[in-house]
Structure 1
């Protein structure tokens, strides 16, 4: 067979063009045929009755928590024994870097520092072991007030949880681990620190994994409905992990060869050459 035959060349070029158009059509189908996703948050908030008891919940203290506790009163000399182990040069990492790469930026935070041990105790000066189990920051402050009041009249107790952290992963702008300075954050606040969901994140199927006293639980949250305000997962707890699942568009594009753009460019060049040759053969 003579490969220089105009009819043979013409048929060959038609076959190349046909494959090229099919390939481009398949690539476009991946992006255009996926279902649209709901991106509105709390669209039914006016129709949801909010439960204040859930909204007012707080995370309980857990082993490994780092507490800065200071005791003050009118006579500072009286409370000195309760402020031992104090270092004026100490700093505590309180906030994740803006890039969301899980590297913490130290912010000065001074005061006597205590680590909750595996039995949920801290060793407090003059008092000894104080148990934190089932206590949150507010209730533990009240507990210390009662104990210190046996020695000091009208003491002022300040308790800060300075290593409260959550991880936000998946389809968010800045995934990473974030430390909450005051130990109190909601799901929306954590997503805000992570730069909000991308356009590919499922807003009706956000997974929260929680570890309480060594037991893992999980819950899926739909933030397109304000009903999640009444969930016990509305307020985050220490070491919560938030995962935003990708939608079908992201899943499909992740399966496409990363060199797809290069292939399309090469195919475009080949098609242009083929059209030029086809035009010459007709002449």
Structure 2
């Protein structure tokens, strides 16, 4: 009889402790999807509040000195770089002349004056500034970095948190990679992305197991996007169990053993 109960208990423990089989492959049908359709979503336009590091160089650095006068040596922003191995991303400090996009979408650049960033991204704005500065300098080299582009990755990932992205562009998969990928308990076919643009909240559920999601406007993330990976049923059930349950069972077992021993002594 006791052996029967032992087997029953072992089966119960296995049922609650094992993670059910689930599809963990990403984009399993990627060969059947037209990847070029995702390119149209790759443009990340500047938004009010964005911080840009802009530096100008030329053969004669004295000539472009006036364009770099907004430089502040105290500006030191940590950005995360994607590792080439399985190590966690490393923070790399960047610094330089810093400009903040105002509520009208403009910055004030030395000598040039007010410059609009509306409907511009890093590449197009770099070209725009080059044209404006070329009036004063021959063959200027313009470098633009978006230093406060950040996304938050929460839920069932290895390292949840908020990440500042180099170059101001990343994909959903890139952000999940920064967070160390999903844990075995993360639901891969129902990842939530929440976006706030000018006070308008939008959201979309993404199925990572299907390549169709690369055609979604949420494949390329935007400033302040929030990615949430929900836990599966096993994790949710485990979270409702008292973490001290194992301790209680152990104490109860000891008490039961002592009680049985005492009863045996009394009978004798």
**Would you say same fold, with TM above 0.5?**
yes
CA RMSD of aligned residues (A): 3.1
Corresponding residue number in structure 2 for 1:10: none
- For residues 219 and 35 of structure 2, the distance between their equivalents in structure 1, rounded to whole angstroms, comes to 11
Q: CA deviation at 1:171?
A: 0.5
Cα offsets for 1:38-97 (capped at 9, x unmatched): 22222222222213453661211111111111112222222222111213453222239x
Q: Specify the structure having the higher radius of gyration (Cα).
A: 1
- For residues 152 and 270 of structure 1, the distance between their equivalents in structure 2, rounded to whole angstroms, comes to 87
Corresponding residue number in structure 1 for 2:241: 256
| Secondary structure, counterpart of 1:154 in structure 2 | coil
Q: CA deviation at 1:213?
A: 2.6
Corresponding residue number in structure 2 for 1:80: 65
The answer to whether the Cα contact below 8 Å between 1:55 and 1:235 also exists between their aligned partners in 2 is no
The answer to whether the Cα contact below 8 Å between 1:206 and 1:221 also exists between their aligned partners in 2 is yes
1:164 equivalenced with 2:149 (yes/no)? yes
- For residues 52 and 59 of structure 1, the distance between their equivalents in structure 2, rounded to whole angstroms, comes to 16
- Equivalent residue for 1:145, pick from 125, 130, 140: 130
Distance 1:208 1:75, change over 3 A: same
1:120 equivalenced with 2:105 (yes/no)? yes
Corresponding residue number in structure 1 for 2:32: 47
| Secondary structure, counterpart of 2:243 in structure 1 | coil
The answer to whether the Cα contact below 8 Å between 2:38 and 2:214 also exists between their aligned partners in 1 is no
Q: CA deviation at 1:116?
A: 0.9
- Equivalent residue for 1:132, pick from 117, 123, 126: 117
TM-score (norm 2): 0.84
Structure 1 gap segments, 5+ residues each: 1-13, 99-104
The answer to whether the Cα contact below 8 Å between 1:207 and 1:218 also exists between their aligned partners in 2 is yes
Structure 2 gap segments, 5+ residues each: 84-89
TM-score (norm 1): 0.80
| Secondary structure, counterpart of 1:233 in structure 2 | coil
- Equivalent residue for 2:214, pick from 215, 219, 229: 229
Structure with the larger RCO, 1 or 2 (CA within 8 Å, 6+ apart): 1
Q: CA deviation at 1:24?
A: 8.2
